[in-house]
Amino acid sequence: MRGLLAIALCGMSFTANAQNLLKQSEWLPPGASVAGDLLRRPAEALEGGLNQNFYVEFGRLAFRSPEILGGNARRAGISCNACHSNGHLNARFFIPGVSDRPGTVDATHKLWNLRAEDRVANPLPIPSLRNVAGKLRLGQDGRATGLRDFVRAVIVTEFAGDEPSHLMLDALTAYLAKLRPPAGDDIEAVTLDGDLADLTRYRHVLRTVLLDEDAALTELAVRMIRGQIGFIAERFFRPEHDAARANLAAWVDDLRAVEALAMQRDFPGARARLAAMAPPAPALLAAAATSLYDPATVKAVLP
């Protein structure tokens, strides 16, 4: 079964920058199964709940995309969310040479940025980012004195990313500033309904970008959203999931069309195309019962 899954994933083209579900097994301890991570994750809690502005929502999307990082991290499909799951932490993150035990990382290792290499093996525990806005000192060296300064240092210095725009820094800072410990359960189930709700939030982000008539930001937002659709698509790997994958592929085609219209400065057309995107098809919703959203399927395919 695992071979069937691998073949199915290789045939998909939804994702960007090596984002895919099984890629995360490369940053788990040797022999560890990725199955649990497909079914559960730390619960996310934002001050204000779902009532967030554009900056928080755009920052939330960017936090989940490798697009904002550089070098090997971006090529490997690693995002901020890979280490800080839902803004908390990934206690199983492990890469030989940059981790000495699960849940640690050496952020000054040449794997991430040759210029930041300090020739010292100093992996440190990955911190939770809940309530990070209240901390006085941030970063592995404790030199960042503000959240915005910290975000920039992580992107540029630690992970060799391009200099982020003011908007990107504003957005990521706004998202991180809202992270709080959950009031209820600390772990949440990964479900299709939850992932589709996230896509609705990302579409609202893109709608605002189109209202601002920003072509470059449209291109970036579309790439990031396509990556998130890819995570969903890869859970539908069986031949009988063809209709479900076709529904998701149609969304990707619509997003590419939105991007193309925006690049042509036809923002009314881009907004209309975005608004006309079809809702989730019954076939997509029905297929969840035999997909990698289903615990029994996950355990059978990824023991």
pLDDT tens readout for residues 106-135: 999 999 998 888 889 899 999 999 999 988
Coil vs helix vs strand at 179: strand
End-to-end CA distance of the chain: 10
Contact yes or no for 244/256 (Cβ under 8 A) = no
**Strand 40-42 to strand 187-189: parallel, antiparallel, or no bridges (unpaired)?**
antiparallel
Does the model's pTM come out above 0.85? Answer: yes
Q: How confident is the model at residue 30 (pLDDT cuts 50, 70, 90)?
A: confident
pLDDT at 86 over 50: yes
pLDDT tens readout for residues 239-251: 999 999 999 999 9
Sign, Cα dihedral of 175, 180, 183, 185: positive
- Residue 138's DSSP bridge partners are 144
d(CA 78, CA 245): 24
Q: Which of 100, 122, 96 is nearest to 109 (CA)?
A: 122
**Domains of the chain, each with CATH number or no CATH:** 18-180 (1.10.760), 191-301 (no CATH)
Question: Which residue bears the tokens 């991290």?
Answer: 73
d(CA 39, CA 142): 34
